[in-house]
A and B are shown apart, each in its own frame.
Chain A
């Protein structure tokens, strides 16, 4: 039996695997982008029907960037965490244990698939949205904060996905729960709606979510909308959330891996 000795070799193998899969399942990849775009449009065109004509352009821009953040979160959750089901069904998790490779590193490699789908989806949605909102959609108040908001979202959603993967190996989270949570996050998690526009009860919930702070920074970058707690405070809160989420992810992975090595695994999507 050949054991993988070097960590670098492990990372290279995982990277190779995910790139090969991306190439092998190219139709599925394109299909994912198409499906994503269409689902977003169905709901957004519906939501835009609520908006009065005089606010239409501003709301279309807020909605578009909310969608971009949601694409990042949704793809991380489904293409990383949701994929656990497939990895388990094909016996790949146990296989990695046997070769002394943490299966979470292998599953986390799906980040590559997630980011590829996200990067391909955004221009398509942008093109379609520009036909609705015109060139106004391309206007950016501060590219630095726009980029920062997106990077923050990417970090939060990847860490959240890893927590989900780890938890699912231990507890079995039904796949529908992920959908429910993702949908709720768009409205209640401050991704699609500025905190200031939210009803008060929902506002407290939204402010407790890390995504909200990434979204508030991004909205400042796009439209110059002042974040709910002010820009400087939002930056501090966003940084604290990174540390907290990273610590939680590390602890959860440690505990779950110890448990799983002894008792075996369960997964997201098991119905």
Chain B
């Protein structure tokens, strides 16, 4: 536990200092959800109409939904990238060898390390749209946003489990770029963030149901449909996410131990 806290603290410290040293990037963290929403909204309304979107998506408040799903998209990117890309980044900058040979196990770096920074960036993604949500939906909208953030945090646990194994694989295949990079767009594609999941082929719909994000999207749809969302519709989604957290991490932890073993045997660099 001592190591877990130390790694979390160090990782968060690094993240905050990266933001401090790069104010432009920090600014764009606030700006990104709006940019994505603008892109979809701008493109969509030039090609069609927001009313059509509302009907097809079966939601009452499309603006709130587009803004919230843009933030969900960014949070998922940050969760998967922080976990799956972290080890590869260390390899690029030459610190992976030190991490592998230091006392905490690699899995602690891989799983625990990115948690605080990921929670923080998800928090920023969601709260950046708070002014717009308050404008369109009032205080109730703010409360709904808080609920979405809680769902993202719940989904983060199984997502980390998945990302850590795929991130570990990118160390084993020894590529220059992140071969695990397909994970984020794939999860987003099959989860139907901006469109109903039902328009996808049946196989992709089934695969999508195995990813936690689809339940966050489902919760967001419920929150964007009802003025006072019935909480009993959200409970089953919470249950599924908790179940996934336990199941996925139970299966993925041995996978990471295997990657650690491989890296220790073969070394970090190839040349």
Determine if B258 is an interface residue (Cβ-Cβ < 8 Å): no
Determine if B265 is an interface residue (Cβ-Cβ < 8 Å): no
Q: Across the interface, which residues of B come within 8 angstroms of A89, CB to CB?
A: 92
Using A49-B53, A50-B49, A51-B48 as known contacts, say yes or no to A32 and B177 having CB atoms under 8 A apart.
Answer: yes
Q: Across the interface, which residues of A come within 8 angstroms of B185, CB to CB?
A: 35, 38-39, 42
Best-surrounded residue of B18, B47, B49, B193 (most CB of chain A within 10 A): B47
Interface residue ranges of B1-48 to A (CB < 8 Å): 18, 21-22, 24-25, 28, 31, 35-36, 38-40, 42-48
Whether the Cβ atoms of B179 and A180 lie closer than 8 Å is no
Whether the Cβ atoms of A271 and B39 lie closer than 8 Å is no
Report the interface size for chain B: residues with CB under 8 A from the other chain. Answer: 43
Which of A23-31, A119-127, A238-246, A258-266 is found at the contact surface with chain B? Answer: A23-31
Whether the Cβ atoms of B43 and A35 lie closer than 8 Å is no
**Nearest residue, chain B, Cβ from A41:** B189
Chain A, interface residues (CB within 8 Å), range = 35 or more
DSSP class of B's interface residues: helix, strand, loop or mixed?
helix
Question: What's the nearest-Cβ distance from chain B to residue A211, in Å?
Answer: 15
Whether the Cβ atoms of A28 and B175 lie closer than 8 Å is yes
Best-surrounded residue of B31, B36, B49, B53 (most CB of chain A within 10 A): B53
Determine if B238 is an interface residue (Cβ-Cβ < 8 Å): no
Which residues of B are in contact with A by a Cβ distance under 8 Å? 18, 21-22, 24-25, 28, 31, 35-36, 38-40, 42-50, 52-53, 56-57, 92, 173, 175-179, 181-182, 185-186, 188-189, 193-196, 199
Apart from A35-B182, A50-B49, 10 more pairs, CB < 8 Å: A38-B182, A49-B56, A49-B195, A51-B47, A176-B25, A183-B39, A184-B39, A187-B38, A197-B46, A271-B25
